[in-house]
Amino acid sequence: MSKLLLSIFTLLCVLNLPAQITLTEASFPSSGDSVRISQSNTQGLDFVSTGANFNWDYSNLVATSQVLNQYNPIGFASILIFATYGPIAQSSYQGSYFNTTQDLPLDQLSQFLPVALSDLNQYTKSTNDSITSIGYSISVNGQGVPFKSDTIETRYKLPLNFNDQHYSRGYSNIDLNPIIDVIFRQYRQRFTTVDGWGTLTTPKGTFQVLRVKHDIDEIDSVYQTFFGPGAWFGAPPITRTEYEWFGLNNTEWLLKVVVTNNTISSIAYQEDYLGLDAGLESSAFQVNAYPNPVSDFVYFDSDSPLKGVQLCNAQGKVVLQLADTDLLIGKIDLSAFSPGVYLMKIANNQSTKLIKLVKN
């Protein structure tokens, strides 16, 4: 009897053990996704320790600000960008989505250039075996210009399991000629290893996770002709380690810590809306659009007065606009529009919501 009880006890213990998870494409963003991210400067936490069946407890993280990360459909970019990263592009450059990034110091550079550089976006291709960085776009004097990466960097080789490793490198040459005689070059080497699994606790909750570590070496340089003869200027080499904790089907990492030149430069994690940024859409702003798919009229309603409604086609062009509606309900006649996918942008005083419509 004692042996039977011991066997049952052992079996129960085994059944209750946390399981290692496997990361697939479903654990990463897809077109149209969004995730709310909190930033923190909480000090004194150990982000380095890791291992098998590890327990990371960061429940005492305190948010100082929030942003909403959005993963935009390629069809909502400009026509030039759509041609570069859309379905007619070369297969390896057919993007899945794009999102804003700070990979290049546009703000600092724009101070010295006779053109306005803004809206740096990164383009990503997502497949069942990899997540790759295929290029960028930059808004130059308000016009989006695409720049494909000459060497495509693999950020994640899928599926990911504990102890998996991979190496990748990326090279991008961003030549702004003939608009302006400036060239950016970015060279990056990435060594990735899945160095832990277990349980992660953050202010959002407790999750079964894999811990992914990226060791990144980056060299950036700029060519310009505004200060004397044309010359290249190299930025100091950057050595960066990124720690990411992924759960299953959470859209994006649950926690990310970046260490740059041996100093923690950012701590970010998923969290619910905290009201720390007026630019974020509040959960109190509720809006509906119906029917969807639609043949003629699409109706919309909101629980707060609307300040604007736009309809964009698959190329990102505004094809219809209602301004200063100040309405709670309304309708749009789509009967004369061609069949296809459209995006409704519905705004109130504080935020904007996006709704994808299918026109029959």
Residue 343 or residue 51, greater confidence: 51
pLDDT, one tens digit per residue, over 140-180 is 777 788 999 999 999 999 999 999 999 999 999 988 888 77
Distance CA 96, CA 126 (A): 6
| Cβ pair 316, 77 in contact under 8 A | yes
Identify the pLDDT of residue 8: 47
Identify the pLDDT of residue 358: 84
Identify the three-state secondary structure at position 33.
coil
pTM for this prediction? 0.73
pLDDT-derived band at 184 (thresholds 50, 70, 90) equals: confident
Q: Does domain 287-359 have CATH number 2.60.40.10?
A: no
Look up residue 158 and give its two tokens: 């899928």
Identify the pLDDT of residue 353: 74
Inform me whether the pLDDT recorded for 246 exceeds 80.
yes
Distance CA 65, CA 258 (A): 17
- Give the residue-averaged pLDDT of 53-77: 89
| Cβ pair 142, 160 in contact under 8 A | no
Look up residue 2 and give its two tokens: 């004692």
| Cβ pair 224, 206 in contact under 8 A | no
Return the percent helix, strand and coil in the chain, to nearest 5. 10, 50, 40
Would you state the torsion angle of the CA atoms of residues 48, 54, 55, 57, taken in this order, to the nearest 10 degrees? 10
Residue 2 or residue 294, greater confidence: 294
- Give the residue-averaged pLDDT of 216-235: 80
Identify the pLDDT of residue 325: 62
Of 38-42, 74-78, 116-120, the one with minimum mean pLDDT is 74-78
- The domain limits of the chain are 25-270, 287-359
Q: Which residues contact 121 (CB under 8 A, 6 or more apart)?
A: 77, 98, 99, 100, 101, 136, 137, 138, 144
Is the previous residue joined to 178 through a cis bond, with omega within 30 degrees of 0?
yes
* DSSP string covering 269-325: EE----S--TTSPPTT--EEEESSSBSSEEEEEESS---EEEEE-TTS-EEEEEES-
What integer best gives the mean pLDDT of the chain?
84
pLDDT, one tens digit per residue, over 275-303 is 665 444 444 567 888 888 888 998 888 77
